[in-house]
Structure 1
Amino acid sequence: MKVALMGNEVFLPITELLIAFTVCCLVLMAIKTFWKPIPKGLKRVPGPRGYPLIGNMLDLGKNPHQALAKMSQKYGDVMQIHLGTRPVLVLSGLETIRQALVKQGEDFMGRPDLYSFRHISDGQSLTFGRDSGEVWRARRKLAQNGLKTFSASPSPTASTCLLEEHVSQEADALILKLQELMKEKSFDPYRWLVVSVANVICAMCFGKRYSHDDVELLSIVNMNNDFGEAAGSGNPADFIPILQYLPNRTMRAFKDLTQRFSALVLKIVREHHSSFDKDHIRDITDSLIDHCQDKVDENANVQLSDHTVVHIVGDLFGAGFDTVTTALSWSLIYLVTNPEIQKKIQDEIDKTIGRERKPRLSDRSKLPYTEAFLLEMFRHSSFLPFTIPHCTSLMRNHLEWLLHPLKTFVCSQPMCRSTTAI
């Protein structure tokens, strides 16, 4: 197919026209991204220069938290990088991050409008959703009330709370399994840790403990693992918008995964509705249903439907799954490689509590060495180098020149240094 240009007798294939148009668009996008006028009296945020379209992605390498920490030593506690075409503000140092996340936490609690986030819980996720207004506050309050109600519920069979009973039962099952596996020359405990953590969270959210070979439990574990792999690998379309319109097998799998998980949780929520008893709260789902009985939050006029419960339960489930599993894995690694520390912890527990009962949360103040080990494990391993990106509507309103589209930040803590990207 050929096209005439401006009445001349010059003809060009339509393919060449499309290529030329695409190149012009890319050049304009690059110019728009890297050239922004700075108002008089203000300075441009320091930071490394990036490449057109991809920004500083190559500079981050395989360990972006370490790369950011190194950059901050050169450019200071506030710097700017580019992820694709999206400018990102990076905050470093404990006091800077404390100022943003603690002292001005309300201002920095928003989420950026990333492409992949729109497909998690239909964009209504507390964790990934863009909304940070009254609707978000009402749902957050609902989630907090659900957690508080459940965690404070007394166990019907023990003197501890319901949460501690679930953890204690699963710990017994995990220890028995590990003792069985220790008869072999070697084994990987991670698989059993994952299943045990999933069981505790299922007990908290759904009120039941599964067999380790249960099909539904394994399905939940596999979906969570797939979600972690898909989210952890990153989605270039989040930072290079033009890629949203190109075929993407990973993104299709990600969408399908989130839909299947939501369908599973919705099925469990509806089962809870059919057996719900207001005088017998069994789990977090029951607690959320109880708070949703009036259908409308009295403070925010927010509809509290089955899907609201599904989104909140999904957020609570995902929030503790990977972090708890990874924390337990690192704890085991440190204890195995440092048997002298393991012995000191056991001696402290034996001396303070004895072996007649299990440690409880109320014993925390009596076990300073054990708690010191856990805190040092978190600090030294830095297994969660980045948080989910944040954005701020307050700064977007007052500093549009700086934040458009500069509006995301991520936290990392490589060893002793803290780094946050906004």
Structure 2
Amino acid sequence: MMFDSAAVPGEVTASLLVLVIVFVFIRARGSQEGKKIPPPGPWSFPIIGNLLQLGAHPYLTFMEMRKKYGDVFLIKLGVVPVLVVNGMEMVRRVLARDGEHFAGRPAMHTFSFLAEGKSFSFSVNYGESWKLHKKIASNALRTFSKAEAKSSTCSCLLEEHVAEEVAVLVRAFAELTSTNGSFEPRSVITCAVANVVCALCFGKRYEHSDEEFLKVVQTNDELLKASSAANPADFIPCFRYLPLRIINAPREFYQALNQFITRHVQDHLTTYDKGHIRDITDALINTCHNKHAASKTATLTNDEIISTVNDLFGAGFETVSTCLYWSFLYLIRFPEIQVKIQEEIDRNIGFKPPRFEDRKILPYTEAFINEIFRHVSFLPFTIPHCTTVDTSLNGYFIPKNTCTFINMYQVNHDETIWDHPNSFQPERFLTKNGELDKSLVEKVLAFGMGIRKCLGEDVARNEVFLFITTVLQQLKLQKCPGAQLDLTPTYGLAMKPKPYQLKAELRFPN
């Protein structure tokens, strides 16, 4: 074989060139990996940031931005950088897998007045004190939820309270229809649910005409209206000193609610009897006293007990009343679904009063409730989170104290998870055998997940179930002839439907 010495210099040159390219590529890649790459996002204006781009429905705006920037992107609301997280994989990582990295809360002006800044749900600081606070709140809620009922027909005191209030609601629906022909159900729904919360927290119910009670209900309603848009004081600090209604209204409403709750808790602290646990407030006090007696470990102060009751009161009030308000709208908008639920109730329960345990034998009813949570997504975002340390997400660097929005609405309408996500189809939650598909239910984001998940999910689901089944067992709900029902929500802290009228007729008149 002959050796071509003339080709050697060219081959050496080519080999050296390849080595140089590889070396430069490796160096460049290593340098790139060492950089702290921020998430992508839209260009923002000075001072106001991207506030004007949010529109009337920010969760939809973020879904559009996702198409361009991906599941994780950064915007600026005023002068505050805000990380927006979409997609089930990224949401699970933020709330569950790396939950402690995102377990903080941003210091938002609007919520600083809740429980005078000591709110458990909105607590800025995440640490051992917060964990203790959560554990005590969970124990108190669990203790009372299992408390023995006075009536032998109910499994627990919680069920007894709900059954009592839904009976009042059924009568009110029938009477309002008889008197007026049709009615707007929001106020009577809110009063019924508020009474359940008052019974849970304070062992007391109110007549719907009681002035103190109506003031609290109105206070909550006004608070939601004041929180219906991004409050500029939360994102542009100088706005906090301006005499504007949108900025100062939350303070007035929170103070009124704080005073109502503080008065009831102080009364419980005075009249507490460890042998007679009346409600969640007593259960909370009892848990703290037992812990203090058994150990020198720090427990909650009286002020922190008040703040915990405040959180449980607010959470149990708004989620359930909003869910029911939407549910009755959907039931008159889709009467064929109402008929299917009633047929299931008649077939499996008959005239027996519905109870919590019936959830397992009414899968279509459960499917309807889960489809309400998914399709409406009336809580489009979790309460804002905040990073507790420097961390990373989807390859991007996220510095400590970064405000984080979790877009639950997007996950609940993600085409990779849900077939025809914009269609209302309770059947999607049923297996071929007609059983509830629990694996799909777990993908519905309504109460968050992980460390900061809502403590009252089981209570809320039981309560919604009992209200809906009892109402539909006894009443036929109808829209007014010729009425156009609008399913478009009004954006706010919890999204509400536009006002609507309905009629309620007894299914089995005497």
Give the TM-score band, short-chain normalised.
0.7 to 0.9
Identify the residue that residue 177 of structure 1 maps to in structure 2.
172
Q: How has the CA–CA distance of structure 1 residues 310 and 253 changed in structure 2, closer, same or farther, with 3 Å as cutoff?
A: same
Question: 8 Å contact 1:77–1:96 — kept in the other structure?
Answer: yes
C-alpha separation between the residues in 2 aligned to 1:54 and 1:300? 50
Identify the residue that residue 288 of structure 2 maps to in structure 1.
292
Deviation at 1:396, TM superposition (A): 6.3
Question: 8 Å contact 1:53–1:84 — kept in the other structure?
Answer: yes
Aligned counterpart for 1:62 among listed residues 56, 59, 64: 56
Q: How has the CA–CA distance of structure 1 residues 62 and 250 changed in structure 2, closer, same or farther, with 3 Å as cutoff?
A: closer
- 1:47 counterpart = 2:32: no
Which entry has the higher C-alpha Rg, 1 or 2? 2
Identify the residue that residue 71 of structure 2 maps to in structure 1.
77
SS of match in other structure, 2:246: helix
C-alpha separation between the residues in 1 aligned to 2:88 and 2:404? 18
Question: 8 Å contact 2:115–2:258 — kept in the other structure?
Answer: yes
Question: Identity over aligned residues, as a percent?
Answer: 43
Identify the residue that residue 314 of structure 2 maps to in structure 1.
318
Consecutive unaligned residues in structure 1, runs of 5 or more: 1-37
- 1:408 counterpart = 2:404: yes
SS of match in other structure, 2:378: coil
Which range is displaced more, 200-209 or 99-108? 99-108
Q: How has the CA–CA distance of structure 1 residues 130 and 300 changed in structure 2, closer, same or farther, with 3 Å as cutoff?
A: farther
Equivalent residues in 2 for 1:5-404, closer than 5 Å: 41-158=35-152, 159-183=154-178, 184-293=180-289, 296=292, 301-355=297-351, 357-395=352-390, 402-403=398-399
Question: 8 Å contact 2:120–2:133 — kept in the other structure?
Answer: yes
Deviation at 1:217, TM superposition (A): 1.2
Aligned residues: 382
C-alpha separation between the residues in 2 aligned to 1:256 and 1:342? 41
Q: How has the CA–CA distance of structure 1 residues 161 and 303 changed in structure 2, closer, same or farther, with 3 Å as cutoff?
A: closer
Q: How has the CA–CA distance of structure 1 residues 252 and 297 changed in structure 2, closer, same or farther, with 3 Å as cutoff?
A: farther
C-alpha separation between the residues in 1 aligned to 2:277 and 2:235? 44
SS of match in other structure, 1:106: helix
Deviations 1:166-202 (A, max 9, x none): 1111000000000011122321011100000000010
Q: How has the CA–CA distance of structure 1 residues 160 and 370 changed in structure 2, closer, same or farther, with 3 Å as cutoff?
A: same
- 2:59 aligned partner, one-letter code: H
Deviation at 1:260, TM superposition (A): 2.3
Consecutive unaligned residues in structure 2, runs of 5 or more: 1-31, 415-443, 449-510
Deviations 1:134-168 (A, max 9, x none): 11111111111110010000102224111011111
Question: 8 Å contact 1:138–1:299 — kept in the other structure?
Answer: no
C-alpha separation between the residues in 1 aligned to 2:300 and 2:40? 45
Deviation at 1:404, TM superposition (A): 5.8
- 1:191 aligned partner, one-letter code: S
Deviation at 1:303, TM superposition (A): 4.8
Note the aligned Cα RMSD (angstroms).
2.6
Question: 8 Å contact 2:38–2:397 — kept in the other structure?
Answer: no
C-alpha separation between the residues in 2 aligned to 1:341 and 1:52? 50
Deviation at 1:55, TM superposition (A): 1.1
Deviation at 1:117, TM superposition (A): 2.8
Deviation at 1:230, TM superposition (A): 2.1
Deviation at 1:373, TM superposition (A): 0.9
C-alpha separation between the residues in 2 aligned to 1:270 and 1:406? 37
Question: 8 Å contact 2:71–2:90 — kept in the other structure?
Answer: yes
Deviations 1:245-282 (A, max 9, x none): 33344333322322222222121112223332211111
Q: TM-score, normalised by structure 1?
A: 0.84
SS of match in other structure, 2:49: coil
Q: How has the CA–CA distance of structure 1 residues 86 and 298 changed in structure 2, closer, same or farther, with 3 Å as cutoff?
A: farther
Question: 8 Å contact 2:103–2:386 — kept in the other structure?
Answer: yes
Question: 8 Å contact 2:38–2:396 — kept in the other structure?
Answer: no
- 1:416 aligned partner, one-letter code: H
Q: How has the CA–CA distance of structure 1 residues 242 and 233 changed in structure 2, closer, same or farther, with 3 Å as cutoff?
A: same
C-alpha separation between the residues in 2 aligned to 1:354 and 1:111? 47
C-alpha separation between the residues in 1 aligned to 2:233 and 2:296? 34
Q: TM-score, normalised by structure 2?
A: 0.70
C-alpha separation between the residues in 1 aligned to 2:231 and 2:274? 43
Q: How has the CA–CA distance of structure 1 residues 333 and 401 changed in structure 2, closer, same or farther, with 3 Å as cutoff?
A: closer
C-alpha separation between the residues in 1 aligned to 2:296 and 2:380? 35
C-alpha separation between the residues in 2 aligned to 1:173 and 1:126? 32
- 1:250 aligned partner, one-letter code: I
SS of match in other structure, 2:274: coil
SS of match in other structure, 1:89: strand
C-alpha separation between the residues in 2 aligned to 1:227 and 1:177? 26
